[in-house]
Structure 1
Amino acid sequence: MKPLYVLLVVASFFTVSQVKSQLPDAPKDAAFINENTIIKDESGKRIEMKTFMELMSTNDWTVDPKMTTDGKVDYIQLRRLTPEEKEKQLSDIMSLMGESKMIGTKVPNFEMKDIDGNIISSNTIKDKVVVLNFWFIACKPCVKEIPELNEVYEQYKNNKDIIFVSVTFDPKEKVIPFIEKHDFKYPTVAGDRNVVDKFTNGFPTNIIIDKEGKYVDYIVGGFPDIGKRIESSIEKAL
């Protein structure tokens, strides 16, 4: 049987059409999970989308679509990944999101303003190495990696050839107390969905750009030792 691809569509963030446009290589018959999809845990109990996302954010789970007799998705069954499946799924996600195709290519033109009023744009980053972090408040993997991001920032903050920026679509009035609570060191851009949509399809995403404005690294998802990978990419870009 041909494998059925399943793509998650979170209603408050993306529409199915937006995901399809951002993932042109996705199979035409891919199944899209949204807020109306029935999702069950390992015991067969139906769970809410919030619980589903919390489980999926650990990168320990996959989903098996259960089909009706006429070939439609009846419900989605959660299943814990084996170590081999986990490694392959991560590779497949990266391939689907075009990471390998982007490395060495030019980043799109952009302009954004951080919460202190500073403009960061394609013009202001010329001849600089840029480290971008895309996140949102309710994203647990995003929050989990903050200490490591802070360590990298502290290591390079005095290097004038490096610019750090975090970007979220969450509004400024919610972002300010959040970054104060978590002591997030990166300069932060809030409420900018246009830039978020331009650069990423998943969260967290960490991007390193070289002095020529080309992608050096594009990292989607919560990973152990993310700080070390960012540091390695910064050194490569320098």
Structure 2
Amino acid sequence: MKKSFAILIALLIFATSFSQNKFGNPEVDPVQIQKTYTDWSVYQSKKIMLSRDFTALDAASKEISKEAFLDQLANGNFIPIRLKSEESVYVYKLFKILPKTDTSIKATINQIGFDAYKNYKMEGTAFPKFSFKDLDGNLVTNESMKGKIIVIKCWYIHCTPCIREFPQVNKLVSEYKDRKDIVFMSLAEDSAEQLKTFLARKPLSYSVIPDMKEYMNTALQLNSFPTHFIINKEGVISKVLPNFESLEVALVKASKL
């Protein structure tokens, strides 16, 4: 009887261990990566893309919804780590932030989590009504854009990360130049005069809409730049993205639908 009981306990321990490790082990040491803000910042900027589709695990290795995962990042005391998997498979797990960890790490994670959560909640909703006139005098509205996939970049002249993306997003426009059903449009805070002077030195292949600060603040409630939107052919927001890397991946998927 004792032997049978021991075997049962061993099987339960094995089953628990298997359920926790079936997604793989962390690709970095969750303790070591918290040693310095710089180490963590470099890791998260290259490896953690919260706007993409991923399998979410809580601190106990239990699978949870993406919404719950982002909520815990925004309001909890966790650090996200990717688990080892195939290149195209993304599994992120929450690990506790240690007591002696630099407080800047937690503060930054909470902010990143908040932004990602807000963006995620916008997905699946209708893009706010608009009637824009670009720098060339072309009028674009919700009605005129029906039946097209719209890629929108929100930015302003003095946003360094926004400008750093220009060569990449320009190349993206070139790659999709034969897709007449995909439109690239940018909303900029700055005036038409400022933009024309700036873009003469730093060309952007998107159509550019000036004086969009109020619209981005009120209709879109943005507090982080750049922000990219992909709007489907029905005028619904399919993705809200914080950088070019995420945009490139999401647009490949959206363009095939």
TM-score range, shorter chain: 0.5 to 0.7
- Counterparts of 1:152 and 1:138 in 2: how far apart (Å)? 22
The correspondence of residues 32-47 of structure 1 with structure 2, limited to 5 A, is none
- Counterparts of 2:109 and 2:212 in 1: how far apart (Å)? 33
Aligned residue number for residue 116 of structure 1: 136
Give CA deviations for 1:181-224 in whole Å, capped at 9, x if unaligned.
Answer: 1121111111233432222412111000000111110013x46x
- Are 1:204 and 2:226 an aligned pair? yes
Alignment check: 8 A CA contact 1:172 1:191 kept: yes
Q: Residue 235 of structure 1: CA displacement?
A: 2.1
- SS in structure 2 at match of 1:81: helix
- SS in structure 2 at match of 1:134: strand
Alignment check: 8 A CA contact 1:129 1:209 kept: yes
Alignment check: 8 A CA contact 1:148 1:227 kept: no
Aligned residue number for residue 93 of structure 2: none
Give 5+ residue unaligned stretches, structure 1.
1-57, 60-77
Aligned residue number for residue 132 of structure 1: 152
Aligned residue number for residue 189 of structure 1: 209
2:164 pairs, out of 128, 134, 144, with 144
RMSD: 3.0
- Are 1:81 and 2:81 an aligned pair? no
- Counterparts of 1:89 and 1:194 in 2: how far apart (Å)? 22
Considering fraction of residues, name the structure with more helix: 2
Alignment check: 8 A CA contact 2:230 2:251 kept: no
- Counterparts of 2:124 and 2:246 in 1: how far apart (Å)? 20
- SS in structure 1 at match of 2:115: helix
- SS in structure 2 at match of 1:148: helix
TM-score by length of 2: 0.55
Q: Quick one: percent identity of the two aligned structures?
A: 29
- Counterparts of 1:87 and 1:229 in 2: how far apart (Å)? 23
Aligned residue number for residue 217 of structure 1: 239
The residue identity in structure 2 corresponding to 1:170 is: D
TM-score by length of 1: 0.59
- Tell which deviates more after alignment, 156-165 or 204-213: 156-165
Alignment check: 8 A CA contact 1:128 1:163 kept: yes
- Counterparts of 1:187 and 1:211 in 2: how far apart (Å)? 18
Kindly name which structure, 1 or 2, has the bigger radius of gyration based on alpha carbons.
Answer: 2
- Counterparts of 2:232 and 2:254 in 1: how far apart (Å)? 8
CA spacing shift, 1:129–1:172, aligned 2, 3 Å: same
- SS in structure 1 at match of 2:140: strand
Alignment check: 8 A CA contact 1:151 1:227 kept: no
Q: Residue 121 of structure 1: CA displacement?
A: 0.8
CA spacing shift, 1:230–1:188, aligned 2, 3 Å: farther
Give CA deviations for 1:102-148 in whole Å, capped at 9, x if unaligned.
Answer: 11111111111000000111111111100001100000110111111
The residue identity in structure 1 corresponding to 2:210 is: A
Count of aligned residue pairs for this structure pair: 159
Aligned residue number for residue 115 of structure 2: 93
